[in-house]
Amino acid sequence: MKLAEQVTFGGSGLDRAAHIRSDEAALNSALNHRNAVAIVMWRGKPLVRGAELDQLARIPLDHPVLQAGYADAIPMPVFLGCDETGAPHFACDVSAWEPKDQDLAALGLFLDPSEQVHPDLPKDHVFAELRRLMTRLERRDAELAATAKAIIGWHDSHRFCAKCGAASEVTDAGWQRVCPTCKAHHFPRTDPVVIMLITHGNSVLMGRSPGWPEGMYSLLAGFVEPGETLEAAVRREVFEEAGIEVGEISYLASQPWPFPASLMFGCAGVALGRDITIDPVEIEDAIWVTRDDMMTAFAGEHPVLKPARRGAIAHFLLQNWLADTLD
Ligand SMILES: [Zn+2]
């Protein structure tokens, strides 16, 4: 798919300079580089700025906010890479900071509307939920934010060795954890998910999960299981959820989805029939939607169907299906 990398979080060509991670001298030189900057995360939320919260904030590595607030799970900067000017970029987790007199009830909600202001940062800098603002960020900021959120989220949930249970230690500038007891090496994980544009003639298969807002439907999706190809996962998920057999399958586009650690594989599949039998445990409903109806939904004018959420790969695939730009 020619337009594949235009998806949200589709990448910006950041030079990850992975050779620096295990080279102590090179890492120290990056940490002390006069243009080195920190991308700051607090409890999964990136620090952003601007009236529209459309810019990822960058602060110097010696900023007092960092010194005071490092999280236990990753008490040092994670090296993300260098931009075109050679400026090293790091991700820093300041989750140890406890905001005072701020409403924290919305933290962890699917769409957390709250914003937190750190007293030692300018007033236009806030911690905000990435889902809310991902479509406003330019490509480089989006790649940095997705990477920072995913890698820091991994440290937060992998503090102990998966083999023996001992507390593990951070190495390689944040890209590995090593167990001091059994010596096992642990690498950041990314969980593959297939999401499929299943078509039959001029219609696309859409499903909804229990508890979704009324009128919200999306493409079917599911985790790839150990030992499965992407194609096998697509066929299994569509048959399990909707009782539909899928013939030809092709890969379209991928999207890092750091909520918390997925890599979405967008695939196209041709259904061999139209008869739907849903698995009520997995989904609440599945329907065929014609191209015309989807156009109306995208325009926000469909009486039942809500438009797909912008930023998610489902929206991107449907948009390109409507525009006939899947090739
Ligand atoms: Zn161990």
pLDDT of 176: 98
Q: Give the Å distance between the CA of 24 and the centre of ligand 1.
A: 24
Tokens of 111: 């769409």
Q: Give the Å distance between the CA of 182 and the centre of ligand 1.
A: 4
Res. 40: pLDDT tops 80:
yes
Q: Is the peptide bond before 88 cis (omega within 30 degrees of 0)?
A: no
Reported as a single tens digit per residue, the pLDDT across 126-168 is: 999 999 999 999 999 999 999 999 999 999 999 999 999 999 9
Q: Give the Å distance between the CA of 187 and the centre of ligand 1.
A: 13
Residues 6 or more apart whose Cβ sits within 8 Å of residue 204: 197, 198, 219, 288, 289, 291, 294, 318, 321
Q: Give the Å distance between the CA of 228 and the centre of ligand 1.
A: 28
- 3-state DSSP: the chain helix, strand, coil percent, rounded to 5? 25, 30, 50
Res. 111: pLDDT tops 90:
no
CA atoms within 13 A on the CB side of 282: 17
Q: Give the Å distance between the CA of 167 and the centre of ligand 1.
A: 8
Q: Give the Å distance between the CA of 75 and the centre of ligand 1.
A: 20
Residue 147 DSSP label: H
pLDDT of 61: 96
**Gyration radius (Cα) of the chain, Å:** 22
- Averaged over 289-312, what is the pLDDT? 95
- Averaged over 280-295, what is the pLDDT? 96
Q: Give the Å distance between the CA of 186 and the centre of ligand 1.
A: 9
Tokens of 189: 């994980």
Q: Give the Å distance between the CA of 317 and the centre of ligand 1.
A: 42
Q: How far apart are CA 323 and CA 43, in angstroms?
A: 38
Q: Do 210 and 284 form a contact (C-beta atoms < 8 A)?
A: yes
Q: Give the Å distance between the CA of 160 and the centre of ligand 1.
A: 8
- Averaged over 263-284, what is the pLDDT? 96
Residue 106's pLDDT band, with cuts at 50, 70 and 90, is: confident
The rounded percent of the chain whose pLDDT value lies above 90 is 92
Res. 228: pLDDT tops 90:
yes
Q: Do 191 and 257 form a contact (C-beta atoms < 8 A)?
A: no
Q: Give the Å distance between the CA of 174 and the centre of ligand 1.
A: 18
- Averaged over 191-209, what is the pLDDT? 97
Q: How many CB atoms lie within 10 A of CB 219?
A: 23
Q: Give the Å distance between the CA of 261 and the centre of ligand 1.
A: 22
pLDDT of 103: 77
Q: Give the Å distance between the CA of 129 and the centre of ligand 1.
A: 34
- Averaged over 64-86, what is the pLDDT? 93
Q: Give the Å distance between the CA of 164 and the centre of ligand 1.
A: 4
Q: Give the Å distance between the CA of 170 and the centre of ligand 1.
A: 13
Q: Give the Å distance between the CA of 166 and the centre of ligand 1.
A: 5
Q: Give the Å distance between the CA of 297 and the centre of ligand 1.
A: 51
Residue 186's pLDDT band, with cuts at 50, 70 and 90, is: very high
Res. 194: pLDDT tops 90:
yes
